Amino acid sequence: MADGIVLRQSPMIMVAVELINHMIPPLKPSDDGHKAIVWMEELRTNQLPVIEKGKFLGFITEDIILEENDSKKPIRDYYLDGEECFVMEHQHFYDVIKIATEHDFQMVAVLSQTGVFQGVIAIEDTINAFAESTAIQEPGAILVLLMNQRDYSLAEISRLVEAEGARILSSTVNPDPKDMAMLRVTLKLNKTEISHITASLERFAYRIIGRFQEEEIKSNDQERFDLLMRYLNI
């Protein structure tokens, strides 16, 4: 695996086109900056997509308009940002988060297979979809393993977990930010009591660097969610 490439494996299947927020309209190059500002205020956002004849041109932002100090100018006369901030309609919602993070944008455009603009996804909607997914909602603990890339085998990890009477509901694999030769494997299990599972994994030399049981998650939801996001490196 090349450095910087994120591997993802999960039973959750939710593609970009399913997450489009149809309440967020695109602007046309002929619209002016004032219209853009009014729409942004109504939608409580600071950026909107711009399209022309179905082609995504990029995003106009509140900062760009304010910097020009002339809201009467048509959108075509402003600099647009985020021309590459898009995903194809079939891509997984993890990719939506990745693209939004790379471009530091609140939303991501969605294009069809032929490049036609389909709409935009607000990053908040994507996080909500993740939080509402079956794997997240079902009770269970979270384990984070650290291992060398060459030692990674989801099949072997699953075998050990299932031998203890549990199942893996979802898994995410990311390069360790401190050592790109290592992987962080985050597992959501269907059991809340996992001491026997961790003991089994440790017997087979798996290093556990994070352990979050259901009771702990419920006691401090926001802190645990933030920590999980850091482990997922999203």
pLDDT at 218: 47
pLDDT score at 130: 66
Interatomic CA distance for residues 188 and 164, integer angstroms: 15
- Mark the ranges of the chain whose per-residue pLDDT is less than 50: 1-12, 216-221, 231, 234
Dist. CA 83–CA 76, nearest whole Å:
14
- What single DSSP character describes residue 32? B
Q: Which amino acid is at 62?
A: E
pLDDT at 77 (0 to 100): 95
CB contact burial 116-151 (16+ within 10 A = b; e otherwise):
ebbbbbbbebbbebbeebebbeeebbbbbbbbeeee
Cβ contacts of 55 within 8 Å, gap of 6 or more: 115, 116, 117
pLDDT of residue 48: 97
**Best CA proximity match to 75, nearest among 25, 26, 33, 117:** 33
Provide the pLDDT for residue 163. 95
Please classify residue 52 by burial: count the beta carbons closer than 10 Å to its beta carbon, then call 0-12 exposed, 13-18 middle and 19+ buried: middle
**Tokens standing for 159?**
């075998």
CA angle 132, 133, 136 (to 5 degrees): 90
